[in-house]
Amino acid sequence: VILNVIFLAIIFATRRKMIAVQSWSSAMGTVLASYLERRSSSDGSTNYPVVQYSYQVGGQMYQGAKIAPGMEVGGTGAGKVVNRYPQGAQVMVFYDPNNPSDAVLEKKSPAQWLMWLLLVVFDVMLCGMAVAFGFAF
């Protein structure tokens, strides 16, 4: 139950950020670096896209590396993300007007929040079934 509460908090925070990003300002930027980074875990290794960019707001230069709001997503689509942002390309950067150092390249986050929400719902159902069967015996 505690993990479900944590997962739900993450889901709602991600959704809130996605909504906020829709009203952010934009500025032209330049891709400084774009590559795949291989990260290892207990399940094996996965490629993650890394895109570093610079942009200017109010005469001040900033650098960012966040691609979209929410958690980082790696895997089979990582190469496509890197290909969309080749080094040297001019890109639109969306930044928080109250904190210009907080920026993203894409306003939409991958639909991973929906997967997490479904996982939480499934887990709650399993917990409910376990409780029901526990009282039945």
Cα-based torsion angle of the residue sequence 106, 46, 15, 128 in order, rounded to the nearest 10 degrees: 160
- Count H helices, E strands: the chain? 3, 5
Q: What is the pLDDT of residue 14?
A: 74
Q: Which residue has the higher pLDDT, 30 or 119?
A: 30
Q: What is the pLDDT of residue 114?
A: 56
Q: What is the pLDDT of residue 135?
A: 64
Quick: pLDDT tens for 9-37. Answer: 777 777 787 778 889 999 999 999 999 99
CA-nearest of 50, 61, 54 to 93 is: 54
Q: What is the pLDDT of residue 31?
A: 98
Q: Strands 90-96 and 25-41: what pairing?
A: antiparallel
**Measured CA distances, 120 to 7, 44, 92, 108, 111 (Å):** 7, 24, 35, 22, 15
For every residue of 57-86, DSSP letters joined together read ETTEEEEE---SSSS---STTHHHHHHHS-
Cα(57)–Cα(59) distance, integer angstroms: 5
Quick: pLDDT tens for 42-91. Answer: 778 889 999 999 999 999 999 999 998 876 777 878 899 999 999 999 99
Q: Which residue has the higher pLDDT, 54 or 40?
A: 54
Residue 3 is which amino acid?
L
Q: Which residue has the higher pLDDT, 44 or 113?
A: 44
pTM score = 0.73
